[in-house]
Amino acid sequence: MDGDKHVLAVNNLTGRTLVLNRPQALNSLTLPMVQTIERHLKNWEHSELCNVVMLRSNSPKAFCAGGDVVQVSREWKSGNKAEAMKFFQTEYMVNHYIASYKKPVVAMLDGYTMGGGVGLSMHAAFRVASQSAVFAMPETKIGFFPDVGATFFLPRLDGHMGVYLGLTGQMLKGRDLLYSGIATHYVPSERHAMLEQRLQGLGSSDYDVVNDAIEEFVAQPEDGLMEYSLYHVREAIDRCFQHNSLESIIHALEEEKQHSNEHTSAWAQTTLDQLSRMSPSSLKLTLEQLRRGAQLNIQQAFALELGLAEKRLESHDMHEGIEALLVRKTNDPQWDPKSLEDVNVHEMNAGYFTAKYAYKPKFVHDQAAFSEYPHKYGLPSEKEIAALISGENPQAGNFRLTRDDVLQFYEREYGGKIGVKQKVGWVFDNLENN
């Protein structure tokens, strides 16, 4: 089976590793690969010999660059619609399975982690990024929408950053993944093999024990500084992407370009350029999807995505985007509608969000319908930090805390976790300066 050739299973002591092994396609997921992953996960979940499951790639270039949407598009256009939808149905089931897995799952991210690769990793309790890890959800560029559970996880990132990432397909690299909440740990790639060996011999399924083991391999930031590509534009992201229409977002970006400092002005122009290349209908669809996703539990999110995938396969733009960018590779998609003004939001909502869907999601753990991930081992969110600083968090007591008080609190709460000091200090300074 191609799935067994492209997904290798490694058994060592009490650790089990799934190794993505389709390097010529940057580990793009096929249906047989997803089915192989599902089969191994089911076997290992019930095995007393397995304590920890790991996911990694055999290629330093990519953990997984996405799903094989070229094949999906071909299946749909050839009339084999059920087979095309089976890919998404199975992929989303595996994504949800990882999110609700009964044992610790550790995804080790090296190289490109996009689309389907994000679905395999973002739902894992532990997400370990290296210096070469590159995250992106570029689906609007091919006329699709951010899927694989992005409806659930993007709205739960700091502020309006998830909407920004979902609309623009902006890449985040290395430590960006840690500070944004996409990764839980930062471990240089040269330590990944040692980390895998450590987890294989750990002999425990206790999440805190697994976390402590990973923490043994994390790397300190150079000079103790916060290496975050969004450092200077985080507030601008929230100012611009807080709006509920694309027209308002673009107007805010134009304002930002004209009236902000050098950093944010250049960022605003770059962002406008990014949005101008995306499918107009995908952009409006994605904004509505993510706004709704903030109120959905994880099963509802996947159910919505399956319905949207079905409707999107019926559209012109998805097939046109795939042809132009992934088949012809001319990067000249002819979108229809051609502009944001030509996309009627009311008609779009009726066609995508209130329509009946022919395909229903399947879940291995059909009782797992949480609204927040059950395990949190990343850095504290900006919202959590701000609540403590402002006194909204009861743990702050009746007094406004100083910078040192806040730092000491989080250092204690997170056991000296690397990255906490940098993020907490940054949030505190931002609040003090506004």
> CA–CA separation, 53 vs 107, rounded Å?
9
> CA–CA separation, 2 vs 335, rounded Å?
34
Element (H or E) spanning 173, and its range?
strand 172-173
What is the predicted pLDDT for the residue at 403? 87
Q: Which pTM does this prediction carry?
A: 0.96
CA angle, residues 38, 136, 347, in degrees to nearest 5: 90
What's the mean per-residue pLDDT of the chain?
95
> CA–CA separation, 77 vs 69, rounded Å?
12
Q: What is the mean pLDDT of residues 6-15?
A: 97
Tell me the pLDDT tens digit for each residue of 112-129.
Answer: 999 999 999 999 999 999
Buried b vs exposed e over 55-84: b needs ≥16 C-beta within 10 Å?
bbbebeebbbbbbbbbbbbbbbeeeebeeb
Tell me the pLDDT tens digit for each residue of 125-173.
Answer: 999 999 999 999 999 999 999 999 999 999 999 999 999 999 999 999 9
Percent pLDDT > 90 in the chain is 90
Quick one: tokens of 362? 């399947």
Q: Which residues are catalytic?
A: 67, 116, 139, 147
